Structure 1
Amino acid sequence: MCRFLIYKGADPIRLSNLLTKPQHSIINQSFDSRLRLDRRRPINGDGFGLAYYPTEEPSISIKRHHSDEILDKILNKEDSEKESLWSENLNKEVEREEQEVGPSIFKAITPAWNNENLRILAERTKSKLMFAHVRASTYGVLSETNCHPFNYHSITFMHNGGVANFKKVRRRFLNELDDEFFNIVQGSTDSECCFALFVHILHSYGYDPSRSKGKFGSKVLRKVMNETISRIKYWTKEANKIVAEEKFKLENDQEFKRKLSLTKIKEIQESKEEPSMLNFAVTDGESIIVSRYISSKVDEAPSLYFSCGSDFVERKQGEFNMHRVDKKNKMVLVSSEPITFERNDWTAIPTNSLLTILKDQTILLHPIIDEYYQKNPLFIRDSGFSTRKGQMGYIPKDDIVNADGKVIKDNSSDINKYSAHVRFPAIPPLDSERRDHLI
């Protein structure tokens, strides 16, 4: 399955300090994921993608570059008209410039660890906001159009996980979309359909995803993310219901079975009722919303961590850690797996919750309260399903326990004998925005 990494900071960081230099960087994770519990160690070699936002504000370039045409128009007018004409044309230039401001996107279908262009780009580029993704395909062929992150104007989106029985609900996704957002989907993945659905819902709430400024605010993005998850969750239930009905008919209705091809019979036999794993990340270039979600009340979602502080420092070659010299965050990292082995630097995001990173790097945590929300803070979710999918790592700070509650003291291969569980604190419901969980 996939892995992703997010950086947001007050100051730009050299991308190589995140992508290539750390011992457990996302590039190294793509072929050597140390935290996966399963022995298969699946390789993320089906392409990668990088989206990074420019560090220069549009207004700077606008002040430097006014066209001769605009200046001529202003100079030929009376003094009384010059000020208003200057303001009018400047606003148009600002709008045009902001229209062009979005992330730079770099994608390739070669393995991330073997791409010289990526190494050079990471070494020579700095950014205050970066999304990176390595892919192990579940749906869709090997092509750049299927590589994350996906982008529409200022909005960038990526996904780790999968929509359960996606082939059975793909048409529902596409039928839901307006024509404009239907055409966003260039590839064949469930993830890109989820992105198109997100943009469609944003538009249906009265916001223009293609507008020039492109800043929607964290509350709007969080609301749209909740609705996106809600619709996918509902369609997952429909898909699982179809799977159950087809299996029942195959076993009990000989007439139904005779009408099916051998390929279709095999497909029904191999299909399973499963939850959807929806670890999403979206940004408008200013705020970031990240979900860690699974449509199950008992299973653990794919692993997801965050780290925040003042500076990300390399002590020795390849050994980084997060320095904290102030209560206020200057930078935030979010990663499917920690990119360092400094256990105290990383915190697991609770399952079925949203992490919000504001413009000033403030972090908020919100629970997703639905039928899969666990009110009991002591409840231990089963990570067996995510482990079998290659999505689960042990939590460095917490105990790993087996189904009987026995603590497994180390992360040796003996862990693989168990259907491992990990202790996560539940987030209490919020009465209002004022009770956001500030970190």
Structure 2
Amino acid sequence: MCRWAAYIGSPIYIADLVSAPKHSLIVQAREAEECKTSINADGFGIAWYAHRREPGLYRDVFPAWSDPNLKSVSEQVKSRLFLAHVRASTGTAISRNNCHPFAYDRWSFMHNGQISGFEQMRKHFDMAIPDQLYLSRKGATDSEALFLIALGQGLERDPHYALLRTAQIVEELAVAQNIPARLRMTLAFSDGETLYALRYASNGNAPSLYFRRRALDDGWIVVSEPLQDEPDWQCVEENSFCTFNQDSMSRQAFMNGANDLGFARAS
């Protein structure tokens, strides 16, 4: 599994989430508290929005705590919207192309969780990526496949529905291959204007997800686990799709029932 943190609001230093807090993302890379594995040392990455439409992207394969460049960059760069991730591989290689966040055009995307059975179905997942997006498939992770499939399902038009369709495709591929695949995910993704987050698992055991209003009431922090001991962290319920703008946030059920998309949940 992995740990991640995301922010939208008035510009802040990336270090305010990545390195400065008592339980910062760098600390969580080796001392995660709400994760199957406490060590998340298989790479890291940051995607941030500033003066251009597309996000900046900085990723590497080192453990987050051992790369002095990460701390230095995060202490110098301010951003109004950014995603940061520390990775624990669930089977794919430790390489820069497999590090989150992933980016395509103006979109950035990161994932904590896994698709069990993915290795047996990898070819079929790749085939579910539209031809016009397949050249953007640089790595081998289930996370990148989810991102590109969701883009092909209309992420730009309707992010909620695109993720629902992507979940359906995962289930359909598993059924077709007679594999009891389980989809577990907490996602953060953005088009540079809005931050979206999702907590869902087909078996009802989704990874943790929290959010809080920034102290100055000018932004939102969304994380895999709290960065500090403040009492105002709110746990996101399972099966929740969240939308964050600088001044507001909304939550709705991700999936209202198996009949929404005409498929049965994995057991």
TM-score (norm 1): 0.56
User: How many pairs are equivalent?
Assistant: 259
Structure 1 position 175 matched with structure 2 position 127: yes
Decide which of 50, 53, 63 is 1:101's aligned counterpart: 53
Structure 1 letter corresponding to 2:206: A
Structure 1 position 364 matched with structure 2 position 246: no
For 1:19-98, what aligned pairs fall within 5 Å after superposition?
19-36=18-35, 41-54=37-50, 56=51
Structure 2 letter corresponding to 1:351: E
* 2:197 aligned partner: 290
- Per-residue Cα deviation, 1:241-279 (whole angstroms, up to 9, x for no partner): 34xxxxxxxxxxxxxxxxxxxxxxxxxxxxxx4521022
Partner Cα distance (1:349, 1:102) in 2: 28
- Per-residue Cα deviation, 1:15-54 (whole angstroms, up to 9, x for no partner): 1111101110111001011344x6xx53100000001100
Partner Cα distance (2:209, 2:259) in 1: 18
Structure 1 letter corresponding to 2:249: I
* 1:303 aligned partner: 208
* 2:16 aligned partner: 17
Structure 2: gaps of 5 or more residues: 261-267
Aligned-partner SS, 2:116: coil
Decide which of 125, 138, 141 is 2:90's aligned counterpart: 138
Structure 1 position 119 matched with structure 2 position 71: yes
Partner Cα distance (1:190, 1:310) in 2: 35
Identity, % of aligned positions: 33
Shift of 1:172: 2.0
Q: CA RMSD in A?
A: 2.0
**Rg larger for:** 1
Q: Is the 8 A contact 1:222 1:289 kept in 2?
A: no
Partner Cα distance (2:185, 2:32) in 1: 20
Structure 2 vs 1, CA of residues 45 and 350 (structure 1 numbering), >3 Å: closer, same or farther? Answer: same
- Per-residue Cα deviation, 1:333-371 (whole angstroms, up to 9, x for no partner): 1101111122x221111111111113x431111112123
Runs of 4+ displaced beyond 3 Å: 236-239
Partner Cα distance (1:370, 1:8) in 2: 30
Structure 1 position 339 matched with structure 2 position 227: yes
Structure 1 letter corresponding to 2:43: G
Higher helix share: 1
Q: Is the 8 A contact 2:55 2:106 kept in 1?
A: yes
Structure 1 letter corresponding to 2:213: C
Q: Is the 8 A contact 1:163 1:276 kept in 2?
A: yes
Partner Cα distance (2:174, 2:197) in 1: 20
Higher strand share: 2
Aligned-partner SS, 1:34: coil
Shift of 1:175: 1.4
Structure 1: gaps of 5 or more residues: 57-99, 208-215, 243-272, 312-328, 374-439
Shift of 1:225: 2.0
